[in-house]
Chain A
Amino acid sequence: MSRWAAVGPVMIFAVVALAFGFALRLDPHKLPSMLIDKPPPRFSLPPVEGTSAPLDSSKLQGQVMLLNIYASWCPGCRLEHPTLMRIAREKVVPLYGLNWKDKPGQGGRWLRQYQNPYIAVGDDPSGRAGIEMGVTGVPETFVIDTAGRIRYRHAGPVTEEVWQEVFVPLLASLGVKS
């Protein structure tokens, strides 16, 4: 009993400290996507103003590709835009876009101002297609494999650093050299 009285509190402290220390490393904003290993949900969006190709989710298969969710009101999207432009220029993987919850004309204006990296970019002013994708904020980038299944969801800007650390190894495992 007396030994317990001495060691018990220390042990309880150690367990609680370990649990808290572990929890500190968790990012509560990093939610696992519900879509991993599933095909994208069905949606069909008209092209963003000024572009020609609509975005139909049934077309998102056949090769490894990226689906990027952006909005003109999103600072992180401005941050990742140069990287997206480079991916498009070097034709690393096909890049599709979804313009989420923008006011009419804003998504198109953004593309005219900063250039358009997307093969096709759909306009989703109501945000419903984004909700179908489980989008919690912009930017988000989904990696889709040849079978048309979503393999990864990245929440936050795809900077060069993120690209090298996260996307290059992932795309290599899917058979894409980048």
Chain B
Amino acid sequence: MTPHRKCLVLGILLSLLLPVAVAFAVTPDEMLSDPKLESRARVISQELRCVVCPNQSIDDSNAPLAKDLRVLIRDRLKAGDSNAQAIDFVVERYGNFVLLKPPFQLNTLLLWLAPALLAIIVLFQLMRFLRRQQSLPASEGFDSVEAESRDELSADETKRLREILEKGPTS
């Protein structure tokens, strides 16, 4: 391989890494000089939904409103807000909808408890099924030889089958 081609291959390989580096939308001009505040702002913006493009957080989104909200969050933090206060500020204006992790409250009870509820129902049904399996006589059990043998043809049926195969279906 010529050095030229080596460079090309290396370039292509490096370009594969690029998308990872630009996965968030924060631009340098909006970053805070205090790294502590900046990292808190990043955490908060990852929890807030972009209202223009609802499947992205404002940290991911390139929408102008998402940028405004990122800057707003940073302004709140600079003014001395706690993380919760900064998040509340946005929720007061846009509602719980902007929280990517919904709060645990009365109207979200079903949302939060449904998985546990389903698991309990499934476990209960499974237990009932297993218990019935045990109480059934062996001949009706799931894995008994007799049950399988019932699927086989009786001597009579075998005889009729052979007749049909030889002569064709007459009667």
Contact = CB atoms under 8 A, between A and B. Distances in A.
B65 A34 contact: no
Nearest to B132: A1
A137 interface: yes
B20 to A, nearest CB: 29
A101 B94 contact: no
A160 B6 CA distance: 65
B51 interface: yes
A50 interface: no
Contacts of A1: 132
- What's the dominant secondary structure at chain A's contact region? loop
Nearest to B69: A131
A132 interface: yes
Interface in A124-172: 126-128, 131-134, 136-137
Contacts, number: 37
Interface in A19-63: 28-29, 31-32, 34, 41
Contacts of B94: 31, 34, 134, 136
B68 A127 contact: yes
Interface string B87-131: 000001111010000000000000000000000000000000000
A127 B54 CA distance: 19
A134 to B, nearest CB: 4
A26 B92 CA distance: 23
15 contacts: A31-B51, A31-B94, A34-B93, A34-B95, A101-B68, A126-B68, A127-B64, A127-B65, A128-B68, A131-B68, A131-B93, A132-B93, A134-B93, A136-B51, A136-B94
Interface of B: 51-52, 54, 64-65, 68-69, 72, 92-95, 97, 132
Interface of A: 1, 28-29, 31-32, 34, 41, 101, 126-128, 131-134, 136-137
